[in-house]
Structure 1
Amino acid sequence: MAEINTLAAFNAFSAGALWLLGSLIFIGFDKVNIQANRWLGAFYGILACNFTQLFLEEFRIGGSLLIHLMELPRWAMLPCLYMAVHHYVSPSLNKKEWFLHFVPFLLFLLFSFVYLMPQLFNQQYDLPILPPWIGFIIRYFFFVQMIYYWIACFSLLRRHQRNLKMLASFTDNIDLKWLSYLLLSVLFMILIRIVSMSNVNVTYYSPILYFLGIIILAYATLTQKSIYALETYQPAEKEEMIPKKISNERLTTEQVEELQSVLTRKTVGEKLYLDPSLTLSVLSGKIGISTHELSYILNNGLGKNFYQFINELRTEEAKSLLLSEDTKHLDMFGVAIRAGFNSKTTFYTTFKKATGLTPKEYIKANSDASR
């Protein structure tokens, strides 16, 4: 029994770590993702309540009321995580949407105050008998909710990864790893919870496993960075503006072809792609159209996203530079910078994908061909 209590003590360590972590990020230790951190802090606070409840139950500390109070916010835990991830990847979230995610929690709160709390105070009322399926939902809803919201959070992250290439021509400085680690550690704890329901050995060691998962959570949270592209919109000069306003509701084939010609002429002719910080909004401002119109032209006119369009032009520039006598003195990073890339990694990855060769292999292949 003493050994079980020793392992169960890790629930107290987990609760303490989560209370501290939740407080740190909720009060705003990071000034980049303030709103998202508040939701994440709420998630950690509710998770801390769960581990506090486990500790109190194991060591028989406190009464039934205290344990029940620790359990009350459980149905709000995963919606808080979802709201945090949504704010990280999409800071402009509509505030009216969040309420729907907390309706089950509010219903459980109402059920608790009407049916459960009176029993804890030894008060009896003539309440209607609930059908058995409501008890089944209350017992197992939380497990379904955990799986659903984790998938929803993962989908948000994947969609954000795809959308980044619609907006930016560089993604190296946009850190998605820490949020991936956070979701993986949450998944790790969800799996422990599910498996421990049927496996005694996992149940026995679960306090330690949970604590390991929380360490990863803490590391991911405290090393977070901005994960969305911060763009600066630069309006075009008046003489560069296209005189006729084009509706972005629906572009005709002729309008797409006209704007596609303007896009290619200005981007290639003025070598706008050589700007390492070029983004969708910056390019749209230089051309004189909206970002929606530019995205439509790229996707439907050229069949590419912004990332592909710009970096393919940079690759063509790099191919010329690699074979030019004027740039023989440059190393590969120097060539990458001259071609518009802001990182060696993006340069190598894009170049290899476009040509099937590394830059050095490309130089060698063309040197052999010219002999």
Structure 2
Amino acid sequence: MADVNILAAFYAFSGGASWLLGSLSFLGVNRVNGRADQWLGAFYCLLACTFTRIFFEEFSIGGGFLLHLLELPTWAMLPCLYLAITHFVTPSTADKHWHLHFVPFLLFLLFSLVYLMPNLFNGQNHLPVLPPWMRFIVQYFFFGQMVYYWIVCFWLLRRHQKNLKMVASFTEKIDLEWLKYLLISVLLFILIRILGISSVHVTYISPILYFLGIILLAYSTLTQKSIYAVEIDPSAKKEGVSPKKALNERLTAEQVEELKSIVMRKTVDEKLYLDPSLTLSGLSGKIGISTHELSYVLNNGLGKNFYQFINELRTEEAKSLLLSKDTKHLDMLGVAIRAGFNSKTTFYTTFKKATNLTPKEYIKVNSVAG
């Protein structure tokens, strides 16, 4: 029994860490993500309630009324995570019907106030016997909710990271990679819960596993970067029309070819790709066409997204710089910046993908050939 209590003490560590993370998020320690941090703080505080309740149960602290109070917010926990992710990835178009996600929690709260809590409040210290179907809902709804919201959150993050390459020529510090680790942590919690149902061994060590998940959560939260809002064409949003469908009806093959020629000429001749902060809307403004027209021409006329288009041009610029006598004094970071890359990481990755060589290997091969 002593061993079990020692391991169960990790629930207290997890609860304390969750309360701390919730407080830091509410206070906006990173001061970069506003409303999203508040929802994330709410998620951590509700998660802390769960760990606190489990700890009290393990050590027989408090009565049934207190334990039920700590359990009540459970059904609101995952909606808070979903709303946090939504505000992180699309802060300008976050869910306007956010309150609907809390309907199950409000129903559970009402059900508790009317049917469950009176027994606990009157000192009976136990819940009334529920019908089988009601016990099933109370016991398994939260599990289904966890799986559903995790899948939705993961999809939102993947969509965001994919959209970045449609509108930006750089992704470092704006791809919200830290959110991936946060979702991995939540997935770890889900797996522990699943495995704990069928394995007593997992149940035994679950306090430690949960605590390790909290450490990963803390790391991801405290290393978060600023929000990057995906650009959206206001006219398409207002009309509710699919940009791709509208362009299919509006642009002929000849028009696509003409626009492709204009895009290539302006971008290459004026070396617009050398701007490290260049975005889809920035380039469309300099060329004089809409962002959706530019995106359509790149995707259908050139078979590339914006990220590929701009960074391939930068790669060609880098090839010239690497072999030029005028830039021999530059290191690789200097070459990357001179070619328009936002970072050395993007430079190396893009260059290797385009040439199957690192920049240094490219210099060596061409020096030998020369």
Which of the five TM-score ranges fits, normalised by the shorter chain? 0.7 to 0.9
Cα separation, 2, equivalents of 1:50 and 1:318: 54
Matched, 1:178 2:178: yes
Post-superposition Cα deviations, 1:145-165, rounded to whole Å, max 9, x if no partner, equal: 112211222222222211111
SS at match of 1:304: coil
Aligned 8 A contact 1:337 1:343 in 2: yes
1:236 equivalent in structure 2: none
CA spacing shift, 1:153–1:230, aligned 2, 3 Å: closer
1:293 Cα offset (Å)? 2.3
Cα separation, 1, equivalents of 2:139 and 2:292: 47
SS at match of 1:102: helix
Cα separation, 1, equivalents of 2:93 and 2:134: 33
Cα separation, 1, equivalents of 2:99 and 2:301: 40
1:33 Cα offset (Å)? 0.4
1:227 Cα offset (Å)? 4.6
Cα separation, 2, equivalents of 1:99 and 1:251: 41
Q: Which amino acid aligns with 2:32?
A: V
Cα separation, 1, equivalents of 2:32 and 2:316: 36
Matched, 1:54 2:54: yes
Unaligned runs of 5+ in 1: 232-245
Q: What is the TM-score when the length of structure 2 is the normalising length?
A: 0.87
Matched, 1:63 2:56: no
Cα separation, 2, equivalents of 1:352 and 1:256: 30
2:115 equivalent in structure 1: 115
Q: Which amino acid aligns with 2:328?
A: K
Post-superposition Cα deviations, 1:27-74, rounded to whole Å, max 9, x if no partner, equal: 322221011111111101111111111122222222211111111111
2:362 equivalent in structure 1: 362
1:143 equivalent in structure 2: 143
Aligned 8 A contact 1:273 1:340 in 2: yes
Cα separation, 2, equivalents of 1:318 and 1:13: 51
2:198 equivalent in structure 1: 198
Cα separation, 2, equivalents of 1:208 and 1:46: 19
Aligned-pair RMSD on alpha carbons? 2.6
1:202 Cα offset (Å)? 1.8
CA spacing shift, 1:249–1:287, aligned 2, 3 Å: farther
Cα separation, 2, equivalents of 1:14 and 1:325: 59
Matched, 1:11 2:11: yes
1:235 equivalent in structure 2: none
How many matched pairs? Answer: 353
Post-superposition Cα deviations, 1:221-279, rounded to whole Å, max 9, x if no partner, equal: 12211252698xxxxxxxxxxxxxx9898433343233222211111110100111111
Cα separation, 1, equivalents of 2:364 and 2:131: 77
Cα separation, 1, equivalents of 2:250 and 2:284: 17
SS at match of 1:196: helix
Q: What is the TM-score when the length of structure 1 is the normalising length?
A: 0.87
Matched, 1:157 2:160: no
Structure with higher helix content = 2
The residue correspondences of 1:1-371 to structure 2 (distance < 5 A) are 1-122=1-122, 132-174=132-174, 176-228=176-228, 250-370=250-370
Q: Which amino acid aligns with 2:200?
A: V
Aligned 8 A contact 1:86 1:156 in 2: yes
Aligned 8 A contact 2:181 2:220 in 1: yes
1:172 Cα offset (Å)? 2.2
Cα separation, 1, equivalents of 2:320 and 2:118: 79
1:174 Cα offset (Å)? 2.6
Aligned 8 A contact 2:164 2:230 in 1: no
Percent identity, aligned pairs only?
A: 76
